Amino acid sequence: MTEAVPGGGAEFARVRLRTTIRKYRASAMLTQKEVAGELGWSVSKLLRLEQGASPITPSGIRALMSLYGVTDPAVIESQVEMAKQARGPMIYEAISSEIATREYQELMGLETGAKVIYKYEPAVIPGLFQTEDYASNLSQALKLSPEQIEGQVELRMLRQANVLESTPRPELNFILEEAALCRKIGTNEVMLEQLDHLLERAKESDISLSMLPLAAGAHPRMGTAFTILQFDDDDLPDTLYREGANIETISIDKPDEVQYYRELFAELHKRAGDFPSFSDQLVDIRRQRFSRTEQEVD
């Protein structure tokens, strides 16, 4: 398994480059067909580069900058260095698709360098806060093979190290549905350890946890978890990741869609604020649902 990394790598460089080269082409008022013709490229090649589907070479980025009229040596060299970084290994590229989907791997790669991560989770404890026993029992409940269970748990612990132990690390702003905190995964002991872990995380200044009780009522995205990554970089647009029973998507260049979910998150956060604090509600859940012995529960 890959070792923990201190921040963003090739993932950020690829997203930043695809955004930058489209921005410079728009400033030069050139079409993709005109650029391809000038450089002797196919339109499909330029399209792949602008979509981030193919990494661009340093010589390729120099050719584009020259064509787009960029003459500042510092700007050109920064883009060349970015192109070199973009051709490096992805943080999680060695992970099997049986352990994590392509969309999930891209999310994990990008989140290591986000400035703020917003997340709404309706069903289970978010992966960044799962204990090892909780993660293992959750994977078992999903009827995964022993190899998949081991791989997923190991990946989850690595992901936590990459994000939570990085300096600086992202600010985390999470909303959890009541059901995610009440759903029993494993034994009472597993749940008590998990809830205690959440209570400790909730004390950290750069982590904001809110609970949305069932009493808060219905809302447009019940059942669909979503994550918004916000970056401290003008060339890295906000990224939206959605996951549900029949959906898993990652959207990087859809500002209207991202804005819709930002507004939804703000609305859910406002609703959650009408109830007692996260820690107070979690203490009640812990006491009422999981503090009894297994024999008493049975």
Task: Assign residue 47 the CATH number of its domain.
Answer: 1.10.260.40
Same domain, 64 and 168: no
Q: Is the peptide bond before 168 cis (omega within 30 degrees of 0)?
A: yes
Rounded Cα distance between 290 and 198, Å, is 14
pTM score: 0.83
pLDDT in tens, 204-221: 999 999 999 999 988 887
Rounded Cα distance between 58 and 85, Å, is 10
- For residue 189, pLDDT beyond 90: yes
- For residue 42, pLDDT beyond 90: yes
Alpha helices by DSSP H, 87-226: 102-111, 132-141, 146-164, 178-182, 188-201
Top-ranked range on mean pLDDT: pick from 51-65, 192-206, 252-266: 192-206
Q: What is the mean pLDDT of residues 99-112?
A: 86
Q: What is the mean pLDDT of residues 228-252?
A: 86
Residue 10: band (very low, low, confident or very high) from pLDDT cuts 50, 70, 90: confident
Rounded Cα distance between 63 and 37, Å, is 13
Same domain, 236 and 196: yes
Give bridge partners of residue 227 from the DSSP assignment.
119, 241
Same domain, 289 and 229: yes
The span from the first CA to the last CA of the chain, in angstroms, equals 40
Same domain, 177 and 108: yes
Q: Which residue segment(s) compose the domain that 256 sits in?
A: 102-297
Tokens of 270: 């406002």
Tokens of 290: 């999981």
Residue 293: band (very low, low, confident or very high) from pLDDT cuts 50, 70, 90: low
The torsion defined by the Cα of 106, 111, 113 and 116, in degrees rounded to 10, comes to 140
Name the domain count of the chain: 2
| Residue 240 belongs to a domain | yes
Same domain, 150 and 272: yes
Residue pair 226/240 in contact (Cβ under 8 Å)? The answer is: yes
| Residue 109 belongs to a domain | yes
Last residue of a domain, one of 86, 118, 135: 86
pLDDT of residue 236: 79
Please state, as a whole number, how many other Cβ atoms lie within 10 Å of the Cβ of residue 158: 19
Q: From residue 201, how far is each of 127, 196, 197, 218, 271 by CA, in Å?
A: 13, 9, 6, 28, 22
Same domain, 73 and 195: no
pLDDT in tens, 77-93: 999 998 998 888 777 76
Same domain, 118 and 47: no
| Residue 2 belongs to a domain | no
